[in-house]
Copies of this chain bind each other. A is one copy, B any other.
Amino acid sequence: MPKLEKKDLRKAWRSWAMYHLSSMSFEKLEAHGFAHSMLPVLKKLYKDNPEEYRKALKRHSVFYNTEPQTGSLVNGVICSMEEKRANGQPIDDDMFHSIKTSIMGPLAGIGDSTLQGIFIPILLTICMGISNHGNPLGVLLYIVAYLAIILSLSYFLFMRGYTLGIHSVNSIIGENAEKLRDAFNTLGIIVIGGLAASFVKLSTVIKIPNGDEQLDLQKTFDGFFPGLLSLLAVLLCWYLISKRKLSASKVLIILVLISVVGVLLGVF
């Protein structure tokens, strides 16, 4: 009875953690990264059965894509399923396939928005604050904190996926998980609002003559709504992308135009 040892799992995790996107292309993305990560495990499980080994390699070489760091959970789950199969349980290719494709989407969604949309920007914002005037402490904090937190998370998820096996799928795509995702969504939107206020910077230089004095329009804005113009800029971009379906590059060009025209007209 072939049995996976801790060191096989560690190897599998390490391969995934390194090679998930190393041959990324538009059609396959993480397909071969997944197969690569399964090598140590499959070698062990099917070492006496080259045909099964070949079939296993093949079934894990199809299109696959998810957020790579939180996605290690899936690799753990698949390892446990392959082990069960190698020990005689009736798990067919379709089963592997359907599990991978049903988790990868939601996991990419929650992973990308939580890591790239919430965690990284917040960590960056803090560290940028510290490094504002060239202090390297902030950069070092970013490097250490990111590596420590995310590597442990990825490792932990892989091992948990292996332990819980197929059941852990529920915790990602079940009903309660959807409510949790909704909550993360809420969290994400609030945080983005804060990012917008922190990073988008737009102010007018318009001065309005008023008797002898001059009224500084920006100061008037700041008096009742600091960041009003920045908010308008964000809403414009959102409107162009979301309602007018413009591509990001077109919006970039529009922003360039706004800067150029705005400065020429003496608005900014």
Contact = CB atoms under 8 A, between A and B. Distances in A.
Interface string A182-208: 000000000000000000000000001
Contact of A224 (B126, B210, B215): B126
14 contacts: A126-B224, A129-B223, A129-B224, A130-B220, A130-B223, A130-B224, A135-B210, A135-B215, A135-B220, A136-B210, A137-B208, A137-B210, A137-B215, A137-B220
Interface string A126-147: 1001100001110000000000
Contacts of A129: 223-224
Interface residues of A, number: 13
A67 to B, nearest CB: 27
Given A126-B225, A130-B223, A135-B215, 10 more contacts: A126-B224, A129-B223, A129-B224, A130-B220, A130-B224, A135-B210, A135-B220, A137-B208, A137-B210, A137-B220
Contacts of A220: 130, 135, 137
A208 B140 CA distance: 13
Nearest to A225: B126
Main secondary structure, interface of A, reads helix
A86 B116 CA distance: 61
A91 to B, nearest CB: 39
A234 to B, nearest CB: 21
Contacts of A215: 135, 137
A221 to B, nearest CB: 9
Interface in A18-67: none
Interface in A205-233: 208, 210, 215, 220, 223-225
A137 B206 CA distance: 14
A244 B223 CA distance: 41
A225 B122 CA distance: 13
A223 B137 CA distance: 12
